[in-house]
Structures are given as C-alpha cells and as structure tokens.
Amino acid sequence: MERMFGVKNTSLEHLLIPVKILVKNSLQRVVIFGDMGKAEVDGSNEYNDFQHASLNTTKQLIRDLNNIDLIFLIGDICYANGYLSQWDQFTAQVEPIASAVPFMVASGNHERDWPGSGSFYEDKDSGGECGVVAETMFYVPTENRAKFWYSTDYGMFRFCVADTEHDWREGTEQYEFIEHCLASVDRQKQPWLIFLAHRVLGYSSATFYADTGSFGEPMGRESLQKLWQKYKVDIAIYGHAHHYERTCPVYQNICTNKEKQHYTGPMNGTIHVVAGGGGAALAEFAALNVTWSFFKDYDFGFVKLTPIIRIQEEQ
C-alpha cells in the first residue's frame, strides 16, 4: 500500500509513503480541511464577509464528489458568530456535498469560545453560541456532544478527533480519550493513524504562532507529542491558520527522516499538516525559515488522503 496526501484545489503536492501490509481490495478517499465559511454567489455584501473563497471550495468538492468518500471540516465551520441565519446559509451552500457523502466536523474557536462558558479559551469568537448550534446541528459519534472529541474508523484509517476548545493537557478527560484512541487501534486493520484538531497543537510557522515563539498553541505540543511518538501517529492535520503547510516527520522540533516526499521504512516521527485554507481570508507565514517546515502554500484548498492499494495474498 502507498499513502498519498496533499492534493489541493489550486496546486498539487504529492507525498508517497509505501508500506507493505495485508489489505482488502477497497479504496478510501478522505478530504480534510478547516476554516471554510460561506458567501453569497451574487457577491452581495453581508455580515462577516471574508470567506468568499469558500464558494470555490464548494464548487471543487461538488465537481469531485464521485472521487470522495468522506469529508472532515475541522473547525471554524461557517463563522456565524451568533447569527443563526448564517448557519442556514452555510447548510444550504454545503447541502449538495453533505447529502452525498459523510460530512464530519470538529469544534473550533468560532463554534465554541465564550467567556465563562467552560471553553478552554476565554475569547468571544463564537458570538455567544458556546458550541450549542454546532453540537445540535452536526452528528458526532460521542455520548456527550458538549465534549466534542471522538474517534472513527474508516477503511484503513483510524481518525482521532480532538476538541482544542476544551483542555487537552495531561491529566484531563480529553487527554485520556486521546491516549485511548491512539492506543486501541488495530494497526492490522487500520494501519493509518491520523490525529485531527482545529488549533495547531503541533507545528506551524504562521505569523501569529511564530510571534509567540511556540510555532503552535503555546500549551499544545508538550502534552501530546509523547503520545504521537509512542503510538506512531502517521499524520496530524489542523486548521486555524488559513493556508497550507507540511512538516517533515518531526519529534521535539527535530526531523526524524531525511526524505522530503518519498518515504520508505519507519518515519520515526509524525508529519504535521496545516490545512486551514477552506475559504476564510488567508493568513501570513512568518519570514523566518524553520528546519521542520518542508512545504508552504499561501493559497486556498484542502487535503485529500488516498491509500493506493497493493493486494497481497494471505499466507
């Protein structure tokens, strides 16, 4: 089997990582992105109008529906910020997509954050929604939708979806969930272990992260990177920064593999991808270069994961 990701709607990057396993004769094509939003086709002005590129993402996904099996929109879904009519507009925009393929979501700051509401951050980004609309409108496979973290298996993938708007640090309920999700996967059935979250809990050279000196959420990486390393997480994908970026396989700021695109054998680290170009206005990269950042694209788009199957006979 080969794994390939990095197909975006305005440019193309392929990453090939061959692995030999016993597989079934099937194909899974999974699209992942964050920070989409909505816009009027006629170009009319409206509240919070900075997501016009979401129309291009919508058109691209509709055109490619026959080649998509599952979609994850990992936070900052529509930027309604407390205006229910904006949710109506968004659901109308994505209905041709969400009615055709499974459409999974994660929680972002524009769905959840509000002072005194129990969110990890005390920002006002949700406009007072406090997660209620997103938790009610979208199904997620969890017993308590207010705890917007969950796992799901699809074909050869195990997806562990975190909620960055609730505390994920060591000792919390969510940390225990993340470790259980990573530890419980059967790598013979789901060889691909993927971590998804809205805010960048791994690595990003977006300007607003670089300015903090952390190159990611300041409290994010320390608690989680030992789990990613211990359980051999293949890829971690985030939104929040509105562009595309890919790292080398990395652990503790050090690239663990010298290859840049075609990997063979153990990677010994996790590849971190920022896929926040779903439609909201783009975010700048920091001017300085960091050794773990291998590919940057100041553009809109999405990531597509596609295992390329090689059938092997059981012995």
User: pLDDT category, 310, cuts 50, 70, 90?
Assistant: low
Alpha helices in 44-108 (DSSP H): 54-63, 84-98
Q: Is the residue at 313 inside a domain?
A: no
- Which pLDDT tens digit goes with each residue over 258-281? 888 777 778 899 999 999 999 999
Residue 265 domain-assigned (yes or no)? no
Residue 93 lies in a domain: yes
User: Does any domain span residue 156?
Assistant: yes
Number of domains in the chain: 1
For residue 4, is pLDDT > 60? Answer: no
204: in domain: yes
Among 182, 177, 96, residue whose Cα is nearest residue 140: 177
CATH of the domain at 140: 3.60.21.10
Lowest-pLDDT range of 20-24, 80-84, 167-171: 20-24
- Give yes or no for residue 189 having a pLDDT over 70: yes
Contact present, 258 and 167 (Cβ < 8 Å): no
Structural domain harbouring 241: 2-260+274-308
Are 35 and 105 in contact by the 8 Å Cβ rule? The answer is: no
Report if residue 39 sits inside a domain.
yes
pLDDT reported for residue 130? 92
Nearest CA-CA partner of 163 in 151, 155, 154, 153:
151
Q: Is residue 198 part of a domain?
A: yes
Handedness of CA 294, 297, 303, 308 (dihedral sign): negative
Asked if residue 188 belongs to a domain, the reply is yes
Residues 40-84 have pLDDT tens digits of 888 777 777 889 999 999 999 999 999 999 999 999 999 999 999
pLDDT score for 25: 56
Q: How confident is the model at residue 10 (pLDDT cuts 50, 70, 90)?
A: very low
Q: Is the pLDDT of residue 6 over 50?
A: no
Average pLDDT of 104-113? 95
C-beta separation of 75 from 240 below 8 A? yes
Predicted TM-score of the model (pTM):
0.91
d(CA 34, CA 77): 7
* Range name among 201-215, 228-242, 280-294, 300-314 with the lowest pLDDT average: 300-314
Neighbours of 103 (CB within 10 A): 18
